[in-house]
Amino acid sequence: MLSGHTQIVGVIGWPIEHSVSPPMHNAAFEALGMDWCYLPFPVHPANLKEAIAGVRALGLRGINVTVPHKKGVAALVDELTPAARAVGAVNTVISRGEVLVGHNTDVGGFLRALREAGFEPEGCSALILGAGGAARAVVYALAGVGAQVVILNRNLGRAQALAAAFAGVSETARLRAGPLNEKSLSQEMERANLVVNATSLGMWPQVGTTPWPDELPFPSHALLFDLVYNPRETRLMRRARLEGARAVGGLRMLVHQGAEAFALWTGREPPVETMFAACCAALRGGE
């Protein structure tokens, strides 16, 4: 029951109807008996500045930020954490009185999901497919733990720029870039023990698409981490498993980045499995 004491958080994006964050967070609040409510706020890009001012004016405890606003919000908050500043994107805002602090919990969420899958990322050899916003958080996370990272993208210039941006994050990390094509994949895949799909290929409704050529075997020794979470099992994940590789979908990363935001807002330990179950139920309901 909402009251004058209810603490409000939410998510801004455009569009926002597809988001599973409201059921995920509200399930967590209910499980812990907290008088909090998480709401979706559709914000057109032209209204982003006013929306962030509204976070202050309405006294919200914080917000999540999804596409297309992650970069824009980074320029509108008062402070940025080191990860948010480095990645150049904010996915979580915390209200501290009149001060809005921008965080990027995608970085920690990715690493937690990897470790939960039994994969230790320190010093690994990673092959990243894509060089967009999702890839930035992944590359920064892996560079920070000293990984050897190869970024492949159809636009080679974007991959090169991403590799250069994070080259100095760690003394032991090594970053390279190349074009995303069958030749590059065949050259790089044997050295990689982690393959990350940071493209949108395979995401609903384009579930038949994949960044991996049909003619090229998937390396059975590697772990595939597909950032796509809808559907829970992508065409690429099925392909990797059929060829003997382990595959992890993006839902666990979504939950762990949300759990980190939950802890930042509330100071409470997030009920991660409750949040995961709520996401699964929301995705099933949308099918």
The whole-angstrom separation of Cα 254 and Cα 201 is 17
Kindly report the CATH number assigned to the domain that includes residue 26: 3.40.50.10860
49 and 150 share one domain: no
70 is catalytic: yes
Contact present, 201 and 210 (Cβ < 8 Å): yes
Same domain for 136 and 80? no
Structural domains in the chain (count): 2
Residues 100 and 26 in one domain: yes
Q: d(Cα 275, Cα 215) in Å, to the nearest integer?
A: 38
Do the domain assignments include residue 75?
yes
Q: Are residues 179 and 231 in the same domain?
A: yes
User: What does the pLDDT read at residue 238?
Assistant: 98
Fill in the DSSP letter of residue 284.
H
Read off the CATH number of the domain in which 148 is found: 3.40.50.720
- Domain presence at residue 206: yes
For residue 66, what are the CA distances in angstroms to 49, 81, 106, 119, 285? 15, 17, 11, 27, 21
- Report pLDDT for 257: 98
Quickly list DSSP for 159-217.
HHHHHHHTTTS-SS-EEEEEE-SHHHHHHHTTT-SEEEE-S-TT-TT-TT--SS-TTSP
Phi, psi of 117 (to 5 degrees): -80, 5
99 and 13 share one domain: yes
Report pLDDT for 166.
Answer: 97
Q: Is 234 in contact with 210 (CB distance < 8 Å)?
A: yes
Domain region containing 88:
7-104+252-285
Asked if the structure places residue 1 within a domain, the reply is no
Q: Are residues 142 and 229 in the same domain?
A: yes
pTM of the model: 0.95
> For 24-74, what is each residue's pLDDT tens digit?
999 999 999 999 999 999 999 999 999 999 999 999 999 999 999 999 999
Torsion angles phi and psi, residue 30, rounded to 5: -65, -40
Instruction: List the strands of the sheet with 125-129, edge to edge.
Output: 174-179, 148-153, 125-129, 194-197, 223-226, 246-248
pLDDT tens for each residue of the chain, 287 residues long: 789 899 999 999 999 999 999 999 999 999 999 999 999 999 999 999 999 999 999 999 999 999 999 999 999 999 999 999 999 999 999 999 889 999 999 999 999 999 999 999 999 999 999 999 999 999 999 999 999 999 999 999 999 999 999 999 999 999 999 999 999 999 999 999 999 999 999 999 999 999 999 999 999 999 999 999 999 999 999 999 999 999 999 999 999 999 999 999 999 999 999 999 999 999 987 54
Q: Is residue 154 located within the same domain as residue 262?
A: no
Based on the fold, state whether residues 18 and 62 are members of the same structural domain.
Answer: yes
Q: What's the pLDDT tens digit per position in 130-145? A: 999 999 999 999 999 9
Cα Rg, the chain, nearest whole Å? 19
Q: Same domain for 264 and 236?
A: no
Whether the bond into 231 is cis, omega within 30 of 0? yes
Looking at the structure, tell me whether residues 245 and 266 fall in a common domain: no
In a domain, 2, yes or no: no
Give the CA diameter of the chain: 61
- Distance (Å, whole) CA 87 – CA 74: 10
Cα–Cα distance measured from residue 36 to residue 60, given in angstroms and rounded to the nearest whole number: 11
**Does 192 lie in the same domain as 260?**
no
Q: Is residue 124 part of a domain?
A: yes
Same domain (yes/no): 117, 76: no
Among 200, 201, 227, CA closest to 214: 201
Q: Is there a domain that residue 49 lies in?
A: yes
**Residue 46 resides in a domain:** yes
